[in-house]
Every structure is written in structure tokens, then in C-alpha cells.
A and B are shown apart, each in its own frame.
Chain A
Amino acid sequence: MQTLDFQKMANIERSASRKRTFYRWLLFITLGIFALYYLAPLYVMIITSLKSMEEIRQGNLMTLPGEIIFDSWKTAWSGRDYDAGNVFLRPFFWNSIKMVVPAVAISAFFGALNGYALTKWRFRGDNLVFLLFLFGCFIPYQAILLPMARTLGVLGISNSITGLVVVHSIYGLSFTTLFFRNYYVSIPDEMIKAARIDGAGFFKIFFKVLLPISAPIIVVTVIWQFTNIWNDFLFGSTFSFGEAAPIQVALNNMVLTSTSVKEYNVDMAAAFIAGIPTLLVYVLAGKYFIRGLTAGSVKG
């Protein structure tokens, strides 16, 4: 009787472990397929950028380059010496840096300040104010193009990096406020009360007590804002042209203005260069990104 039971248990265990192995394989295969699917364009981009034009014309899209050539990268970055009218990325890359750094810093700083005020210095109607900020997150880019163009014109900063900094700072404020507000909600109010009794004021508490523990949400905000502002094309193309354009606009111009032949290798290299900074930000701060996104939701 007892041996029978043992056998039964052993059978159940065996079939359970078989099932587990099967599902594990299924899981990894599915994940693998998706990973390949998402990585394929990147693969094509990189190998195409390293091929010569001849090889591109002859060969298959997926085959590895016969000879690795970095010329197209050089062309994309600094142009050709002899071609005067050529568009290349270098100056616009720095344009984008000059735009993205202040815009991210300003929107993150004021987002933090807003989040702090909305959670720790509650006032009559604070929820309504927050609701309006939230509403701001859902306003599409296109809706503010015309009024913003007019505003920039009145301020005398249209077609300038400064103008784009202003646009992105204002547009990003809704998101940064939302992030910081949700993070600060989970910070106990007692900490602020203690600081008030200790004699610290609004800004002192913000800078000395709250900001030093905001690293996770700062990372989230910076990644989010950096990616959005760096990758933005619509604001860039609407509010700037010529020398003041950010890199995404320049990339577009570059790809579209090739006169004679379509240089796929140069286009691919240029597209990759334009994507490097965001990639870098993700690689460097990615693990804090996930941590920061979940940090606000769980207390403690």
C-alpha cells in the first residue's frame, strides 16, 4: 500500500518536472525569437554602414561585409572634403547637445520642485493643479505647434537653440512633475515636519533633505526627457532650420538631399550616430531606470 503511494508521488513529481522543463524551453525560445526580431534592424544598420556601396548593390541585405570600411561613418560625421554643399552631422550633433542638456536640466529641476510642492506643501486646490499637469501629458505635440511658434516669435527666440530649449522644457514639465510627484508621495511627511521643526525652510528642505534621496527618480526623469528631446523631430523641424537645427532634422535633411546616388551606408552610419547618445544613456543608467520606475509604487 505504502510503496504504491510512493510510486504515485514519484510519477506525479516526474511529470511535473517534465512539464516545467517544457515550459521553460518554450519561454526561452519565444523570448529568443522576439529578441532576434527586435535586433534585426540594428544588425542590418550596422553591417550596411560598414559595407561599400558596390557591395550593397550586389549583396544580400543580411550578409556580413566582405571588407569592413569605416569611410561612411567618417562621411556621415564630418562630410567630404571636396563637396561644399554636403550636409554632415557634426555641427548638428553639438546643436542637439546644447539643446538637450539645458532642457533636461531645467525640466527635471522644475518638475522636482513642482512634485515637492504638490506633495509636501499641500494647498487648497493642489489636486486640481496636479490634474492640470496630468492633462498636459496628454496634449499632443501637434496641438501646440502654432501657439508655440507665435510665442517664440514674440519672444524673439524662434529658429534658435534657446527657443528649442524653452519648448522642450515647458512641454516636458508635465511629465517630470508627474514623476517627481509620484515619487515624493511615498516619502513620509514626518521627515518634512521634522525638518520644519529643525528650522529649515521650503528650499532648504528641498535641497538638503529631499533632493539627496531623489536619485532613482532623477535617473528616470533624465532618461525619459533625454530620449524624448534628443529623438524629437517635430519641434526641431518646426521651430528651427538651417544651422540651428538639431541632429534629427539634420539627419533627415542629409538622407533626403543626397543628389545623385542613395548612399545607404552613409545614411545608416548617420542614423546610428544620431542614436548613440540615447543608447549610451540607457546603457549607463538603465538599471536605475527600472528601479526608479518601481520605487515610487512600493512604500518603504
Chain B
Amino acid sequence: MATLKVSNLTKNFGNTQVLKQINLEVIDGEFIVLLGPSGCGKSTLLNIIAGLETVDDGEILIDEYVVNRVEPKDRNIAMVFQSYALYPAMTVRDNVIFGLKQRKVSKEHIEKSLKHFSQMLQIDQLLDRKPAQLSGGQRQRVAMGRALVREPHIFLFDEPLSNLDAKLRVEMRHEINKLHEQLGTTMIYVTHDQVEAMSLATRIAVMNEGIIQQIGTPQEIYEKPNSVFVADFIGSPAINLIQGTFYKDGTAPSFIPEQQKDNFKISLSGYSFDSEPKDGQEIIFGFRPEHINLPDASLKSQLPVELKPSLIELTGYEKEVSFEFYGNEITGRLPRHVNTELGKSISLSLDLSEISIFDSASTMRI
């Protein structure tokens, strides 16, 4: 059983407030990913949870106990670092069991855990080597072994895959995923890589400028981003955002792009507003690239559009095509077999069932 609760956490470095009133509750067995651009405070938050940084205001609770003043070693946590942070002078074996030795665990238990976890991570052949003799992926495994062997209540990961090459990163990601399945331990994972976040997390906390912008399942975050920041940060290629005004003609709401012509408007009657804007209010209309596609009769509400490609990029499975759309450049993801030619317009449709609308002033979802 391991729950974590962060309440009203504030942290300053000098005059800059890096964490502002953070609230976060983690249930036992969850895999929480703290996601955000560099400098958003995610690593600081993780360090504070680990006890490596002090708290200026607010509380950290692990298993219902306030641990603000508890030393890292007594918090029942283990941490994996981006640089692996292995002890260069020690063999892999000594690296892995260093923590257990500090805790005066019995020799038999140490040997047993070492054997169990080194086999699990496939580092049992490397035990007598020094970290310098290992490849990046092996070092990563050793770093994980060092964390696992302690059998902590909470695992903390600080961008553990950032130093690996692309292929190895995917491999290790799968392993971390499997590990979580196997152990069911609470994990908190910091990354700036949205693919890692989406694929690992049970819940993602998107952070920016010291604030948790949104917290939810990967699907919620992707489909219903609560702000322009989250919408824009998640998804690659990025979501298309178009400035314009909200217009209400009788009961039928619609969106008019800023640079519209020929009375073009997009009907919003299928969109369920959290709070409906006033007529004439400035809003931002957002839709993901995959919602520009070939016309599909099965879709509930769609808008037929004629678009001219201005840039075509084949990514392998599909192609990303940029179009000019009422003064905005928008991107669509089309199947690679679709015939596209620069400057030659094609008939496509915009799926209106999964759009997001934001208020221009507050940049929040409405």
C-alpha cells in the first residue's frame, strides 16, 4: 500500500516561484507521469517527493504520513535518474546492493534479492563489471535494479530514458511498462516526451510554469485538453488552432474564422459546451490533424472542405500535409496512398465530433 498526497506545495528558488500551490493525489499502484516542457517544475516536484529538495510551503504525505522533514532514505522510495547515477568505483553487484547494505539487511536476503532482480533485469551476467564497462542500456538496467532491489513503496523516475538512443528507448519503455504490470508498485515518472507519457501512464499530470495544468488519463488529456497549452503540448503533429469568433444565430451556434470570406462558418451544434460563450466572443477552434481526412459517410458530423496542399511530408505509415485554411496553416494526417499534389486542391472532410473550443482570453476549454 502506497499512496502519495501533495497538498498546496510551493517552492521558490530565490525570487522565482518554481512550484505554485501544487495538489496531487496518487492512489496505490498508479503510474503517474509528470509531463511538461523543460523548466516547468516537474523535476523539482519529483525531487521534493524524494526528499532531495526542501519544501517552502504545503505538505507531502506518503501513506498518510507527513514526510516534509523525513530524510530521503526513510521515505520508502527509490529513484532512477537520467544520468543513471551509478557509483563508478563499484561493481554492478555493489551498486545494486549498496542501498540494502546501508539498511543492514541480512546477507541471505541481500543475496536472494540480488539474484531475483538481476535475473529479472537480465544483468546477472554483468555483476562483476564496473559501470564504465557497460553500454547505456545496461547501465539503465543496473540503475533500475538498484531501485528494484530495495522493494520500495514508490518508484520515482527522473527522465530515465532521455539518454538512450531511439530504439533502445522504445525497448526500455516496454520493459518499464511490463515492470509496472508485474510489480503493481506506485510509480511517478517525469518526462518531457509525450509518447512516453501516453504509453506508460495510467494518469498524466501536464505541468507548465509551476502549475499542474491538467491531470487525467492519457485519453482524457488527448481528447479533451482543458487548455490551449495542454492541447498544443500533447500530440504530434500539433493540434490545429484557429482564432475566430463565436456566433449565435437563433439557437444554432457556429464559429467564424478571423479571416473568413464568403460567409464561411463552422457549425458548433454538435459540440457540448461546458459553459456556452456569448455571441461575438473571441474563441479558439481546435482540431487534431487526424480529423482532417477523406470524406467518410459514417461520421456523425463533418464539414466538407476543399484544401490545397502547401507541404507534403511522408512519415512512413501516413503523410502529413499542410494546407492553407482561412489565413492559418493547418496540418492533416492522410493515408499515404491518398493522391496529393502541391497546389492541387482535394476534397476532404473535417470531423467535427472531436473538436475542442477554447476561450481566447483565458485560453481555457469552454
Closest to A192 in B: B85
Flag whether A212 is at the interface (Cβ < 8 A): yes
Report whether A194 and B73 are in contact in the complex, using a CB–CB cutoff of 8 Å. no
Chain B positions within 8 Å of A212 at CB level: 88-90
Chain A positions within 8 Å of B158 at CB level: 190
* Interface 1/0 per residue, B68-97 and A, CB below 8 Å: 000111000111011101111110000000
CB distance from A235 to the nearest CB of B (A): 36
Given contacts A196-B72, A197-B73, A200-B98, contact A209 B87 (CB under 8 A): yes
Flag whether B315 is at the interface (Cβ < 8 A): no
Partner of A199, one of B52, B90, B103: B103
Within 8 A of B (CB), among A190-225: 190-191, 193-200, 204, 208-209, 212-213
Within 8 A of A (CB), among B204-220: none
Given contacts A199-B103, A204-B102, contact A194 B79 (CB under 8 A): yes
Closest to A211 in B: B89
Report whether B83 and A188 are in contact in the complex, using a CB–CB cutoff of 8 Å. yes
15 contacts between A and B (CB under 8 A): A190-B158, A191-B87, A194-B79, A194-B86, A195-B87, A195-B98, A196-B71, A196-B73, A197-B77, A198-B98, A198-B99, A200-B102, A209-B87, A209-B89, A212-B88
CB distance from B316 to the nearest CB of A (A): 34
Flag whether B201 is at the interface (Cβ < 8 A): no
Report whether A194 and B103 are in contact in the complex, using a CB–CB cutoff of 8 Å. no
CB distance from B154 to the nearest CB of A (A): 11
Report whether B102 and A191 are in contact in the complex, using a CB–CB cutoff of 8 Å. no
Chain A positions within 8 Å of B89 at CB level: 209, 212-213
Closest to B52 in A: A193
Given contacts A191-B85, A209-B89, contact A197 B102 (CB under 8 A): no
Chain A residues engaging chain B, CB cutoff 8 angstroms:
188, 190-191, 193-200, 204, 208-209, 212-213
Flag whether B146 is at the interface (Cβ < 8 A): yes
Report whether A190 and B98 are in contact in the complex, using a CB–CB cutoff of 8 Å. no
CB distance from B13 to the nearest CB of A (A): 12
Report whether B85 and A194 are in contact in the complex, using a CB–CB cutoff of 8 Å. yes
Closest to A193 in B: B52
CB distance from B155 to the nearest CB of A (A): 11
Within 8 A of A (CB), among B124-166: 146, 150, 158
* Interface 1/0 per residue, B86-127 and A, CB below 8 Å: 111110000000110011000000000000000000000000
Partner of A193, one of B71, B81, B87, B146: B81
CA distance A23 to B79 in the complex (A): 57
CB distance from A124 to the nearest CB of B (A): 11
Flag whether B50 is at the interface (Cβ < 8 A): yes
In the complex, which of the residues A191, A194, A196, A213 has the most CB atoms of chain B within 10 Å of its own CB atom? A194
CB distance from B134 to the nearest CB of A (A): 15
Shortest Cβ-Cβ A-B pairs, 6 listed = A212-B89, A199-B102, A198-B99, A199-B73, A190-B85, A194-B85
Chain A positions within 8 Å of B103 at CB level: 199
Report whether A190 and B99 are in contact in the complex, using a CB–CB cutoff of 8 Å. no
Given contacts A190-B83, A191-B87, contact A198 B146 (CB under 8 A): yes
CA distance A258 to B73 in the complex (A): 68
Chain A positions within 8 Å of B81 at CB level: 190, 193-194
CA distance A197 to B80 in the complex (A): 10
Chain B positions within 8 Å of A193 at CB level: 47, 50, 52, 72, 79, 81, 85
CB distance from B31 to the nearest CB of A (A): 20
CA distance A213 to B83 in the complex (A): 17
CB distance from B174 to the nearest CB of A (A): 24
* Interface 1/0 per residue, B44-73 and A, CB below 8 Å: 000100111000000000000000000111
CA distance A198 to B95 in the complex (A): 10
Given contacts A193-B79, A197-B52, 10 further A-B contacts (CB under 8 A): A190-B85, A191-B87, A194-B81, A195-B87, A195-B98, A198-B102, A199-B73, A208-B87, A212-B89, A212-B90
Closest to A205 in B: B87
Report whether B87 and A197 are in contact in the complex, using a CB–CB cutoff of 8 Å. no
Chain B positions within 8 Å of A196 at CB level: 52, 71-73
CA distance A68 to B313 in the complex (A): 86
Closest to A187 in B: B88
Report whether B88 and A213 are in contact in the complex, using a CB–CB cutoff of 8 Å. yes
CA distance A193 to B87 in the complex (A): 11
CB distance from B103 to the nearest CB of A (A): 6
Chain B positions within 8 Å of A191 at CB level: 83, 85-87
CA distance A197 to B153 in the complex (A): 13
CA distance A204 to B98 in the complex (A): 11
Closest to B47 in A: A193
Given contacts A196-B73, A198-B102, contact A190 B50 (CB under 8 A): no
Chain A positions within 8 Å of B85 at CB level: 188, 190-191, 193-194
CA distance A208 to B47 in the complex (A): 23
CB distance from A300 to the nearest CB of B (A): 10
CA distance A199 to B101 in the complex (A): 9
Chain A positions within 8 Å of B71 at CB level: 196
CA distance A150 to B150 in the complex (A): 56
Closest to B73 in A: A199
Chain B positions within 8 Å of A190 at CB level: 81-83, 85, 158
Chain A positions within 8 Å of B102 at CB level: 198-200, 204
Report whether B98 and A197 are in contact in the complex, using a CB–CB cutoff of 8 Å. no
CB distance from B19 to the nearest CB of A (A): 18
Chain A positions within 8 Å of B47 at CB level: 193
Report whether B83 and A197 are in contact in the complex, using a CB–CB cutoff of 8 Å. no
CB distance from A187 to the nearest CB of B (A): 9
Chain A positions within 8 Å of B78 at CB level: 197
Chain A positions within 8 Å of B79 at CB level: 193-194, 197
CB distance from B287 to the nearest CB of A (A): 41
CB distance from B53 to the nearest CB of A (A): 10
